[in-house]
Structure 1
Amino acid sequence: MDSVAEVPLFEMDEYEEEDVLSVRSRGVCMYATYPMTPPAGADPDTYIYMNFMKSHSCYDAMPRSSKLVIFDTTLQVKKAFFALVANGVRAAPLWDSKLQCFVEIYLQYSVNRLISIKPESSLFDAIYSLLKNKIHRLPVIDPASGNVLHILTHKRILKFLHIFGSMIPKPRFLQKQINEVPIGTFREIATIQESASVYEALAIFVERRVSALPVVNEQGKVVALYSRFDVINLAAQKNYNNLNMTMKEALTSRSCWVEGVLKCYPHETLEAIIDRIAKAEVHRLVLVDREDVVRGIVSLSDILQALVLTPAAASPVSHELLTPLPSKSISPFSSQCHHFLLLKFQPPFPRYLQVANLSSLKKTRWQVMM
């Protein structure tokens, strides 16, 4: 594990269409939540995707086979970190051998409890849990055996919707231009210059609470996208002692080839943008003008919120479904997290991470950004 050459840096394809299409052969659809009839006078198109998610369970969106990495809480943090990178996954459920149950998820770390969902729960419930708890991975746990069956993500759910979109009526609002619908972030967009250092990027990640930064050149044109996962890869390459390298250097030193930043334009339709983000299997698109100047960010969370949760919140009969979920997790951008982030990349590899295990990580209430 200590040899960089032995650590392949890649992100596995999180979804295979063959696996999703196998749902048809299974002939299974466990309805956990009944579709809602649109209120009188409301546009029925608004509720199409919400009802689709309510009519399909988490089980429906699970592939026939996939990789699931599980760690014991006694595993050293350093070994767990490199094991994630080597297996091409970003998170792993933590098993407590004393309690004989799953207690947390690494690297989306929760201090008090593991946020999970049952396989028979609806995809609507899954989206609600992901967005309201501000998490990116939701373990699907079998209530009978206690086993983790799968880990749902925003990307996986949107891909499921994208594949099966031809089976439901196509809402007319999909033909609206992105600048006509309130989907995305268009104010105070965090960016970083090519000449800025990686350390400056880390500070922006923490201070602005963002997971990716458009990298712009001297003319203000976007040339790349730098994410928190790029920082993880930087550590895996043992370049954590060179945080003063420029963003341009960091981008060219990526061990895995990354295609140029994926963009969208104000005149493009919502349908075209959803199609692009689903096919490319990315978390976000950078909205630019004709000069390639950054004007906004359209993320998976923005799309799922607008298509699924916002219609439910507007319905007078579904407010009980949208009561805030309890969450006592430490904010991933708390001062403790910032402290841990800096420790993680100071040279040499922090001695704490070399000797500590995942159980002691929980006691310190430190959280790994991912």
Structure 2
Amino acid sequence: MPLTRDSHSVSVPHERPPLPPVASDSPMFVDDSPTHSIKQHEADSYARLLQLNVCYDAMPTSSKMVVFDKDLLMKKAFNGLIYQNTRHVLISSGGDGGKISGILSVTDFIRVLLMKYREVMGVPSEHEVDCNDIGNMTVRQYRDFVESSGKLFQLVSIDANQSILEAARLLAKYRIHRLPVMDPIEGSPLFIITHKRILKFLWCFGTQFSLPEYHVKTPRVLGVGTWENLKMVYPSTPLHECLEILSTQNISGVPVVDEETKKMIGMYSRFDAIAIATDNDPNRLEKSVQSALDFKNFNKNLASMVVSINTTDTFWTAVQVLVDRNVHRLCVLNEHQQVEGIISLADVINYMVVKPGEHLQSPKAQHTPRVQRVEDMSNQELRRLLTTNNHDLEQQNEIIQK
């Protein structure tokens, strides 16, 4: 859906049109016909599954895209981020015909919080800026400032008709957590593909393969996850120190452990920083991590706060927990409930897909309208399309089997 020039904040719902070749009641459509010949699990089985399916196939039945105009004030943008209860929004410019040019995320929110805190505390900054005016900056001006400090990342996106394997590779290459999927014809955003969505796709449609040999081994034996130099904070750690770790270490969550026993108490993530916006205390970043956890876990069951596995649990158990609990990471605890390691969704996808599939070539994107509305086609056109798609799939199968 094209963006309007005069709209500063647009919530764009996308209803997924029916795919002409196959009708499916599943929230995801998967073209698994070329993989029927795979009877035993091979090292690159999951990678080939993603190679044979395009990003559109991983798109949910319906999704909502939140887009902010570059001329929106930063304070309104952050309020919109909170109101939409989302980790990110897309950025566009009406002057460019609504072209998507970037992402505004919780990371930016944390960066602004820390900039304001450093100014209050008199900490010198390499790039001078009046932090009191940041809220009155437009998103465009803020991004220009971030670019001048060398911290602005260019937008990385992918066409909907490119393979899911290519999406996984881009997520790994640029070490990003979200990848906008664009309509190859109109150039408008369709949805955001993430490690979580890719893992769910594998979980739903990878059952056609036998289990891999590594599924009974522990993540530590396989080298999946982070096991050394773990970043952790204590309940008494000031919030600004916790946010500094999240901002500078390129991690999305940090375990909170007891200062004496080192037992895990909880997890503080980047998204939790949104709650700081509701606190009007000028010294809010001087408060402890414990106070933030108390606010986060208010009226919640303690058992649902910490998502973890034991050091003796298998890799497959870790995958199942990530899928069932719908989380971005989990901690690995020893018999004393102390943190031994952290496994993220990126770690799992890189191990299951990216590394085993390094030798695979992604099919060239077919820049033809994959998304076509059946109701707009005659019976003759529909039969021709079905025949063409079937022929293309057979040819693709022959090439891969060679």
Checking the alignment, whether the CA contact within 8 Å between 2:157 and 2:179 is kept in structure 1 is: yes
Match of 2:294 among 242, 245, 252: 252
Deviations 1:313-363 (A, max 9, x none): 3x4xx4x77xxxxxxxxxxxxxxxxxxxxxxxxxxxxxxxxxxxxxxxxxx
Measure the CA separation in 2 of the matches of 1:114 and 1:267.
Answer: 40
Measure the CA separation in 2 of the matches of 1:176 and 1:241.
Answer: 47
Aligned to 2:172: 131
Checking the alignment, whether the CA contact within 8 Å between 1:85 and 1:236 is kept in structure 2 is: no
Measure the CA separation in 2 of the matches of 1:231 and 1:162.
Answer: 30
Q: Percent identity?
A: 31
Measure the CA separation in 1 of the matches of 2:254 and 2:213.
Answer: 32
Match of 2:264 among 205, 222, 237: 222
Measure the CA separation in 1 of the matches of 2:234 and 2:153.
Answer: 38
Checking the alignment, whether the CA contact within 8 Å between 1:23 and 1:60 is kept in structure 2 is: no
Match of 1:72 among 69, 87, 91: 69
Residue 229 of structure 2 aligns to a residue whose secondary structure is coil
Q: After TM superposition, give the deviation of residue 82 of structure 1 in Å.
A: 1.4
Measure the CA separation in 2 of the matches of 1:220 and 1:94.
Answer: 42
* Unaligned residue ranges in structure 2 (runs of 5+): 1-21, 109-142, 144-151, 363-402
Deviations 1:250-296 (A, max 9, x none): 11022765632111112111111101001111110111100011111
Note if 1:50 corresponds to 2:47.
Answer: yes
Aligned to 2:93: 96
Note if 1:24 corresponds to 2:24.
Answer: yes
Note closer, same or farther for the CA distance 1:275–1:28 as it changes in structure 2 (3 Å cut). closer
Q: After TM superposition, give the deviation of residue 233 of structure 1 in Å.
A: 2.1
Measure the CA separation in 1 of the matches of 2:72 and 2:249.
Answer: 32
Instruction: Provide the TM-score with structure 1 as the length reference.
Output: 0.72
Residue 42 of structure 2 aligns to a residue whose secondary structure is helix
Note closer, same or farther for the CA distance 1:142–1:185 as it changes in structure 2 (3 Å cut). same
Note if 1:164 corresponds to 2:205.
Answer: yes
Aligned to 2:277: 235
Checking the alignment, whether the CA contact within 8 Å between 1:45 and 1:172 is kept in structure 2 is: no
Checking the alignment, whether the CA contact within 8 Å between 1:221 and 1:292 is kept in structure 2 is: yes
Letter in 2 for 1:56: N
Checking the alignment, whether the CA contact within 8 Å between 1:287 and 1:296 is kept in structure 2 is: yes
Measure the CA separation in 2 of the matches of 1:113 and 1:224.
Answer: 33
Q: After TM superposition, give the deviation of residue 154 of structure 1 in Å.
A: 1.1
Checking the alignment, whether the CA contact within 8 Å between 1:48 and 1:171 is kept in structure 2 is: no
Q: After TM superposition, give the deviation of residue 241 of structure 1 in Å.
A: 3.4
Q: How does 1:194-205 map to 2 (within 5 A)?
A: 194-205=235-246
Note closer, same or farther for the CA distance 1:62–1:224 as it changes in structure 2 (3 Å cut). same
Checking the alignment, whether the CA contact within 8 Å between 1:30 and 1:120 is kept in structure 2 is: no
Q: How does 1:1-370 map to 2 (within 5 A)?
A: 24-25=24-25, 29=30, 45-100=42-97, 101-107=99-105, 111=152, 113-217=154-258, 218-238=260-280, 241-254=283-296, 259-313=304-358, 315=359, 318=360
Letter in 1 for 2:270: R
Checking the alignment, whether the CA contact within 8 Å between 1:174 and 1:269 is kept in structure 2 is: yes
Deviations 1:167-199 (A, max 9, x none): 333222212222321100000100011111112
Checking the alignment, whether the CA contact within 8 Å between 1:94 and 1:106 is kept in structure 2 is: yes
Note closer, same or farther for the CA distance 1:191–1:23 as it changes in structure 2 (3 Å cut). farther
Checking the alignment, whether the CA contact within 8 Å between 1:177 and 1:270 is kept in structure 2 is: yes
Residue 72 of structure 2 aligns to a residue whose secondary structure is coil
Aligned to 1:8: none
Checking the alignment, whether the CA contact within 8 Å between 2:48 and 2:357 is kept in structure 1 is: no
Residue 124 of structure 1 aligns to a residue whose secondary structure is helix
Letter in 1 for 2:196: K
Q: After TM superposition, give the deviation of residue 238 of structure 1 in Å.
A: 4.0
Measure the CA separation in 2 of the matches of 1:147 and 1:135.
Answer: 20
Measure the CA separation in 1 of the matches of 2:178 and 2:172.
Answer: 10
Number of positions where the alignment pairs a residue of Structure 1 with one of Structure 2:
289
Instruction: Provide the TM-score with structure 2 as the length reference.
Output: 0.66
Q: After TM superposition, give the deviation of residue 244 of structure 1 in Å.
A: 1.5
Measure the CA separation in 2 of the matches of 1:220 and 1:124.
Answer: 39
Measure the CA separation in 2 of the matches of 1:235 and 1:84.
Answer: 11
Letter in 2 for 1:85: I
